[in-house]
Amino acid sequence: MTEYHPGLDGVIATESSISDIDGERGILSYRGYSIEELAEKSTFEETAFLLLTGELPTKTELENFKSDIVGSMDLPTELIDLLQAYPKKSDSMFVLQSVIAVLGSYYSVDFDAEKLKTNYYTKDYYLKVSAILLGSIGSVVATWNRIKNKKDVISPDKGMNYAQNFMLMLDDSINTSDLIHRIIDATLILHAEHTINASTFTSMVTSSTLAKPAQVIASGIGSLSGPLHGGANQKVIDMLDEIGSKDNVENWLNKRLSEKQVVWGMGHREYSTKDPRANILTEMVKQLFEEQSGRVSAMFETAMELERACDKKLSQKGVYANVDFYSGILYKEIGIPVDLFTPLFAISRTSGWLAHWIEQISNNKIFRPTQNYIGPAPRKL
């Protein structure tokens, strides 16, 4: 009988050169580059290129890739009309998944599995398709936010980078700064890839059927939408709302731990030390606090008090605040609506999903795990 691993825990299902995690040492790397170095010195567009191709771009390659992405952020009128047709109370992840699934009707993201046999698809093809999907997914999220709030749609600015355009198109009333743009850019880098997590595995399974790339991304979005995966940063905000005030933190945490309930944003199954992405965002929290001269929301203060309390009670068990805890706080403080936290995660992770799509179809074998049957023995009516 085949050994059973619930949730495929610990099962090696693929070989990949895209990212790596050393959970004991708290190390995350993309194509051999540390996440710390990428967050400090790279941009989301450059990191996406690295994930997709395996190497950093030349100056010309990066400019061409950025130009293709921005071009795809200018959504076709018909696609905007489609977004206008959704009920304004629709779940943002449902809207995003369904719209991405039909992108092939508006953009040239064709894929013919038969052409794989002749090496028809080149690096340029993969970059063009990826630019279309990356540009359009960011624009869909920003445009949907404006439509549901009954505001006019804003077109992208070709002179801006991805993070700047996203914030402009999302809500031009948000008082942004160079630091806020850098925070958005860094969070996009930090969420771009994280080995074989649930949504990446979902996209790999879809890729293995030789489905079209838009369907691959749509399947990843569906998997990401669950609260045990991409929805965790929204749960952090719900949790902070429940706590209410920094003065309530200690009593709330003691009760939560005594009842063995989840403290959202704390701990990560891959790391026995602090999530390296959280270390980077910790510093950005401090920078934002300094830029605002200490003028932060009551929720921000509650979050910082909760982190201190959890550090005292949980750090000896290897449980620390993770990337979801900090990204949720930063997004909220910047002014990004809570219902867009997970769609913003999806924007970033699309680069990782596409990298795995390219890797999967380059040496494809359809996923077909087996099972241990535990139903009734053969019987008759």
Contact between residue 360 and residue 13 where contact means Cβ atoms under 8 Å apart: no
pLDDT of 188 higher than 60: yes
pLDDT digits (tens, 9 = 90+) for 23-54: 888 899 999 999 999 999 999 999 999 999 99
The tokens describing 346, both together, are: 């999806």
Question: Is 324 a catalytic site residue?
Answer: yes
Strand partners, 34: 29
- Residue 265 clears pLDDT 90, i.e. is over it: no
Task: Using a pLDDT cut of 70, give the percent of the chain over it.
Answer: 99
pLDDT of amino acid 185:
96
Residue 30, SS3 per DSSP: strand
Which token pair is 164? Answer: 């700047």
The single residue of 181, 191, 194, 268 carrying the catalytic annotation is: 268
Q: Measuring CA to CA, which residue among 130, 69, 137 is closest to residue 100?
A: 137
Above 50 in pLDDT, residue 259? yes
Residues 318-365 have pLDDT tens digits of: 888 888 888 888 898 899 999 999 999 999 999 999 999 999 999 999
Q: Per-residue confidence at 1, pLDDT binned at 50, 70, 90?
A: very low
Q: What's the N-to-C CA distance of the chain in angstroms?
A: 29
Tell whether the model's pLDDT for residue 158 goes beyond 80. yes
Structure-model confidence comparison of residues 2 and 346, the more confident one: 346
H or E stretch at 27: strand 27-30
Cβ-contact 322, 265 below 8 angstroms: yes
Over residues 281-300, the mean pLDDT reads 83
Q: Is the pLDDT higher at 378 or at 295?
A: 378
Find the mean pLDDT for residues 226-252: 89
Q: Which of 68, 171, 275, 324 is catalytic?
A: 324
- 3-state SS track over 173-240: CCCCCHHHHHHHHHHHHHCCCCCCCHHHHHHHHHHHCCCCHHHHHHHHHHHHCCCCCCCHHHHHHHHH
Average pLDDT of span 100-129: 86
Q: Which of 206-215, 236-245, 270-279 has the lowest mean pLDDT?
A: 270-279
Report all structural domains of the chain as residue ranges with CATH numbers, in order of start: 18-175+192-225+345-362 (1.10.580.10), 232-334 (1.10.230.10)
- Tell me the two tokens of residue 291: 């830029």
Structural Rg of the chain based on CA atoms? 21
State the pLDDT confidence band at 193, using cuts at 50, 70 and 90: very high
Q: Is 5 a catalytic residue?
A: no
What pLDDT, on the 0 to 100 scale, is given for residue 82?
96
| pTM for this model (two decimals) | 0.92
What's the burial of 289, exposed, middle or buried (CB within 10 Å: 0-12/13-18/19+)? Answer: middle
Q: Is the pLDDT of residue 308 over 80?
A: yes
CB crowding 144-175: b at 16 or more within 10 Å, else e:
bbbbbeeeebbebeeebbbbbbbbbbbbeeee
Q: Which residue has the higher pLDDT, 77 or 272?
A: 77
Q: Give every CB contact of residue 212 below 8 A, 6+ residues apart in sequence.
A: 104, 109, 110, 111
Q: Residue 96: which H helix or E strand, with range?
A: helix 92-101
